[in-house]
Amino acid sequence: MTVVRTVTELVGNTPLFELARTPSGTRLLLKLEQFNPTGAAKIRMAQAMIRDAEQRGLLRPGGHIIESTSGNTGLGLAVVAAERGYRFTAVVDHHASADKLRAMRAMGAELVYVGDDDGLATSAREDLAEAMAAECPGAFFTEQHNNDANPVGYYPVADELLAALGSVDVLIGAVGTGGSLFGTARRLRSHGCAPHVIGVEPVGSVAFGGEGGPYWQSGTGTPPGATVGTAVDYALLNEGMKVGDVPAFATARALAVRLGLLIGGSAGGSVYAALERLSGFPPGSTVVVIVCDGGEKYLDTIFDDEWMLERDLYCRDTEHRVLGLLDDYPTHQPTQPDEDCELAEVG
């Protein structure tokens, strides 16, 4: 057991969870980034962006960090700011998980809200964050979508995967800023491992083209009117897939009831895409999904039946379909009869 003196020393070395295995030997592994402090992958990126800013002289002792965030980046920055003595202001909207906002405030962050409903306001958030940083002496706008240190923060994910597995054949992840998926893919390629890279975004996101529209998956995608950031590296992308809110959330809920594993909604989208494609990958493939955060922050949203019903997001049939896919590729034998894993009727 190692004794540490700062929270950021606990970042990394997150576990791999085998979710499914096909008869041909292809296995689906989840890189469970919720085992990082703050329960999300983005603390890796937050730490890398602040270290880079310090090294470049953009952030000095006692300085002020400003960022537009849907929650998980803000949580990571709040930890780093608390450790290193910086003031941190998070520009947020009401689409973010309430628990993420409360946690940021608990760690001393100042929250500045944009918008007055529960819709995404990505462009307005970023515009305000940039303007605030320009007007505040000593402030640094981390600008996660266009910060070169963002993907660098995920290089250790690739190193951890190679140390554990030797190689990765297929890499799947949600694309918001793009840092987690493309930073990991870039680092893997630098070590001679070139996986088939599949990016997943919500239906309504425009990073992979198509018609834009509203969506409920948090911390992922590029909503209409927002600009795709430089961390999205199309040269590393083999496929871009879209998964709607209903199957994404159904997957998260199905994993919870079947395995007791809580993952976030955007991670549910990535896992759904992987399960749908699993039988089509070459026999013996190692498929890794980056699960960027856990489900504990969404207990009052995607795991709340009333919230789901009010937004017409609940679909019992889709949840059963996900359970069926898990049954097709079993790696886990329940200790109770199958009926104990049946989904309760909602509504």
User: Which CA distances in Å does 326 have to 143, 187, 268, 292, 320?
Assistant: 39, 31, 13, 21, 10
Residues 289-335 have pLDDT tens digits of 999 999 999 999 999 999 999 999 999 999 999 999 999 998 865 55
Query: Domain boundary at 146, 178, 197, which?
Result: 146
Average pLDDT, the chain: 93
Backbone angles phi and psi of 87, in degrees to 5: -80, 140
Q: How confident is the model at residue 115 (pLDDT cuts 50, 70, 90)?
A: confident
CB-based contacts of 344, cutoff 8 Å, min separation 6: none
CB contact set of 204 (below 8 Å; sequence gap of 6+): 211, 212, 213, 214, 215, 221, 223, 224
Predicted confidence at residue 347, as pLDDT, reads: 61
What average pLDDT does the segment 6-12 reach?
Answer: 96
Q: What is the mean pLDDT of residues 65-86?
A: 94
Q: Are strands 110-114 and 87-93 parallel, antiparallel or unpaired?
A: parallel
Residue 273 has pLDDT above 90, yes or no: yes
Q: Is the pLDDT score of 272 beyond 60?
A: yes
| Structural tokens at position 278 | 């699993």
Domain housing 114 = 42-146
For residue 325, the tally of other CB atoms under 10 A from its CB is 20
pLDDT tier at 339, thresholds 50, 70, 90: low
> What does the alpha-carbon distance between residue 305 and residue 346 come to, in Å, rounded to a whole number?
7
Q: Write out the two tokens for 195.
A: 């996986």
Q: Are residues 26 and 54 in the same domain?
A: no
Would residue 272 count as lying in a domain?
A: yes
What is the total count of domains within the chain? 2
Q: What kind and span of H or E run contains 171?
A: strand 170-174
Q: Are residues 50 and 84 in the same domain?
A: yes
Q: What is the pLDDT of residue 332?
A: 61
Judgement on whether residues 175 and 265 belong to the same structural domain of the protein: yes
User: Tens digits of per-residue pLDDT, 227-243?
Assistant: 899 999 999 999 999 99
Using 50, 70 and 90 to split pLDDT, how confident is the model at 336?
low
Domain-embedded: residue 334: no
The pLDDT of residue 331:
80
Q: Tell me the whole-structure pTM to 2 decimals.
A: 0.92
- Contact predicate 201/152, CB 8 Å: no
Residue 165 is encoded by which pair of tokens? Answer: 């597995």
Instruction: Write out the catalytic residue numbers.
Output: 42
Q: Is the domain of 14 the same as that of 52? A: no
What burial class does residue 106 get, using C-beta atoms within 10 Å of its C-beta: 0-12 exposed, 13-18 middle, 19+ buried? exposed
Mean pLDDT, rounded, for 144-162: 97
Q: Where are the alpha helices (DSSP H) in 29-146?
A: 42-55, 72-84, 98-106, 122-135
**Helices and strands (H and E) in the chain: how many:** 11, 10
Q: In the block, which residue shows the tokens 């602040």?
A: 50
pLDDT of residue 121: 73
159 plus 130 within the same structural domain? no
Amino acid, single-letter form, for residue 264: G
Structure token pair of residue 260: 């007791």
> The CATH number of the domain where 119 resides is what?
3.40.50.1100
| Average pLDDT value for residue range 51-61 | 96
Name the amino acid, one letter, at 102: R
More confident residue, 138 or 191: 191
Length, in residues, of the chain? 347
Do 201 and 314 share a structural domain? yes
Residue at 332 is within a domain: no
Q: Which residue has the tokens 């592994």?
A: 29
Task: Identify whether 347 is part of a domain.
Answer: no
Q: How far apart are CA 151 and CA 128, in angstroms?
A: 24
DSSP E strand boundaries for 3-123: 16-21, 27-32, 64-68, 87-93, 110-114
Residue 174 shares a structural domain with residue 221: yes
User: Do residues 312 and 282 share a domain?
Assistant: yes
Domain identity same for 137 and 254: no
Q: CA of 118: how far to CAs of 92, 102, 121, 147, in Å?
A: 11, 16, 9, 27
Shared domain for 167 and 215, answered yes or no, is yes
Q: Are residues 321 and 230 in the same domain?
A: yes
Of the residues 91, 113, 146, the one at which a domain ends: 146
pLDDT computed for residue 120 by the predictor: 67
- Please report how the helices 42-55 and 72-84 are oriented relative to each other, as an axis angle in degrees rounded to 10: 50
